[in-house]
Amino acid sequence: MSINPQNNPEKNKNMKTIFADAQTRLNEVFKHVDLTDDVEEKLKHPKLSLSVSIPMRMDDGSLKVFTGYRVQFDDTRGPTKGGIRYHPDVSLDEVTSLSFWMTIKCAVMDLPFGGAKGGIIVNPKDLSRLELERLSRGYIREIADIVGPKRDIPAPDVYTNSTIMGWMADEYAQIKREQLPGVITGKPVYLNGSLGRVAATGRGALYVLQQWVKRNNLQPAEMTLAVQGFGNAGYHFARLAREAGFKFVAIADSKGAIYSEEGLEPEKVMEHKEEHKDIKTMMYCDGSVCDFQRYQKISMEELLGLDVDVLVLAALENQVHKENADRIKAKLVLEIANGPVTSEADAILKKNYVTVLPDVLVNAGGVTVSYFEWVQNRGGLYWEESEVNDRLKNKIDREAKAIFDLAEEKQISLRTAAYLIGVQRIAGAITEKGTKEYFQNG
């Protein structure tokens, strides 16, 4: 079943869907490469879209039905790969867009995967742990026929984690009556997960930033950063980046944002967040004995408009759009989230000489180490964390350099350069299977 983004009932007819906006990224790419029409046509449509109902018995005895999705966008280059998110705003349009971005991302990193994505419309914070387990197992039961180590491999995403992936892998094993750890990545280490996977997205983002900093003769110690989104990826990026010498002056999660000109310590912010469930009105001290100091509480829009060197977007899609793009003062935007800058905002940022390090490169550390986990699961040979991190760095550094070089050579944006490399790899696979030109000349 395909989706027509113009007729998606989940969106207002007068609104541009996320998928339609995501597709506009290809328009600029097609100006710089001569591709067969087959490639353009294939990249317009997801291969498979599944919507499922997940009935679940709640702790109070009531029955509630949740809606879940799984979209496999393209498998030309291999089995599809992509995370599963739990969020009240999940929609088929969003999941389709995310699966499209995963298709490009896997090609950008030259992984033998296509792109997929999944999600459930739920606020996981409203569920008990037992309800969360029942929902996770119920979701896998509904999509079990379309996933597998050689077909479609899910992973964690927004509000899902290694524990949830472990439940899903176990449920799949019970359904199939055999151990198939390669069906899910991002699992706990003791359940055949990979060392280094939890911090992989944030670590990969840091490697990209360090490449850019080195290329432009900048000094980390002289750079200030603000990060929007303090989940797994945002936190590990901030933690590792601070260790590398970068200074964080603002941090935000879904409930609030804090600012300190003197700098923030991500580890202590996370300690407070885990204790109090949010970071607004954050208080902490440095040292064994000190006075608690209250840091300034700011709004999300204020954080986006801070005069910092790097604005790190690690929350959700469409955070920077045409209404607020002009307020961005940072000269570098690091996209750890998927699609945090709309195509209209991209044009505004370009006009204002703001460089965007694109999501399909920056957040590719997660899927790259997921690939390493899949390889380890299938081979039965597991690597040390240092080896995982070294392999990740080598892959990120190689692809980042190729993108930076291409952007400079063709005088195009980094996003267009990344898409151009990814699309050319996808096009090569499509072409090898035969195109209109091949059959016409036969």
3-state secondary structure of 152: strand
pLDDT at 363: 95
pLDDT at 40: 86
For domain 46-191, give the CATH number: 3.40.50.10860
Evaluate if residue 112 carries a pLDDT over 80: yes
Mean pLDDT of 375-403: 97
What is the DSSP secondary-structure string of 288-336?
SS---EEPEEE-HHHHHT---SEEEE-S-SSSB-TTTGGG---SEEEE-
Contact indicator for 275, 263 with CB cutoff of 8 Å? no
Q: Nearest Cα to 47, choosing from 24, 6, 78, 68?
A: 78
3-state secondary structure of 156: strand
Interval 233-246: pLDDT, tens:
999 999 999 999 99
Contacts of 418 (CB under 8 A, 6+ apart): 104, 108, 358, 360, 361, 403
pLDDT at 104: 94
3-state secondary structure of 58: coil
**DSSP letter at 265?**
-
Residues annotated as catalytic are: 117
* Separation of CA 195 from chain center: 19
Q: In the structure, what pLDDT confidence band is assigned to residue 279 with cuts at 50, 70 and 90?
A: very low
Q: Look up residue 141 and give its amino acid.
A: R
For domain 200-362, give the CATH number: 3.40.50.720
Helix (H) or strand (E) holding 199: none
Evaluate if residue 423 carries a pLDDT over 70: yes
Q: Nearest Cα to 245, choosing from 282, 218, 208, 220?
A: 220
pLDDT at 16: 67
Contact indicator for 303, 333 with CB cutoff of 8 Å? no
The whole-model pTM stands at 0.88
The chain-wide mean pLDDT, for the chain, equals 89
pLDDT at 267: 86
Evaluate if residue 23 carries a pLDDT over 90: no
**DSSP letter at 124?**
G
Contacts of 17 (CB under 8 A, 6+ apart): 5, 6, 8, 11, 93, 97
Kindly list the distances between the CA atom of residue 382 and the CA atoms of 102, 195, 373, 376, in Å, as whole numbers in the listed order: 25, 9, 8, 5
Could you give the strand order of the β-sheet that contains 152-156, starting from the edge strand earlier in sequence? 48-57, 63-74, 114-121, 80-87, 152-156
pLDDT at 85: 96
Evaluate if residue 438 carries a pLDDT over 80: no
Other Cβ atoms closer than 10 A to 145 = 10
Contact indicator for 207, 393 with CB cutoff of 8 Å? yes
Kindly list the distances between the CA atom of residue 292 and the CA atoms of 88, 241, 251, 261, 295, in Å, as whole numbers in the listed order: 36, 25, 18, 16, 10
Contact indicator for 48, 116 with CB cutoff of 8 Å? no
Q: In the structure, what pLDDT confidence band is assigned to residue 231 with cuts at 50, 70 and 90?
A: confident
Q: In the structure, what pLDDT confidence band is assigned to residue 406 with cuts at 50, 70 and 90?
A: very high
pLDDT at 269: 83
What is the DSSP secondary-structure string of 364-398?
THHHHHHHHHHHHHHHT----HHHHHHHHHHHHHH
Evaluate if residue 11 carries a pLDDT over 70: no
pLDDT at 7: 37
pLDDT at 282: 40
Interval 307-357: pLDDT, tens:
999 999 998 888 999 999 999 999 999 999 988 999 999 999 999 999 999
Contact indicator for 423, 43 with CB cutoff of 8 Å? yes
The residue written with tokens 């359904």 in the block is 175
* Separation of CA 42 from chain center: 23
Mean pLDDT is lowest, of 41-50, 91-100, 284-293, for: 284-293
Q: In the structure, what pLDDT confidence band is assigned to residue 283 with cuts at 50, 70 and 90?
A: very low
**DSSP letter at 46?**
-
Q: Nearest Cα to 70, choosing from 80, 56, 55?
A: 80
Give bridge partners of residue 80 from the DSSP assignment.
Answer: 114, 152
Domain coordinates of the chain in residue numbers? 46-191, 200-362
Evaluate if residue 64 carries a pLDDT over 60: yes
Q: Do domains 46-191 and 200-362 have the same CATH topology?
A: yes
What sign for the dihedral angle of Cα 362, 368, 369, 370? Answer: positive
Buried b (16+ CB within 10 A) or exposed e, 276-289: eeebeebebeeeee
3-state secondary structure of 43: coil
Q: Nearest Cα to 235, choosing from 210, 253, 249?
A: 253
Evaluate if residue 10 carries a pLDDT over 60: no
3-state secondary structure of 258: strand
Distance, CA of 248 to CA of 263 (rounded, Å):
5
Mean pLDDT of 194-211: 96
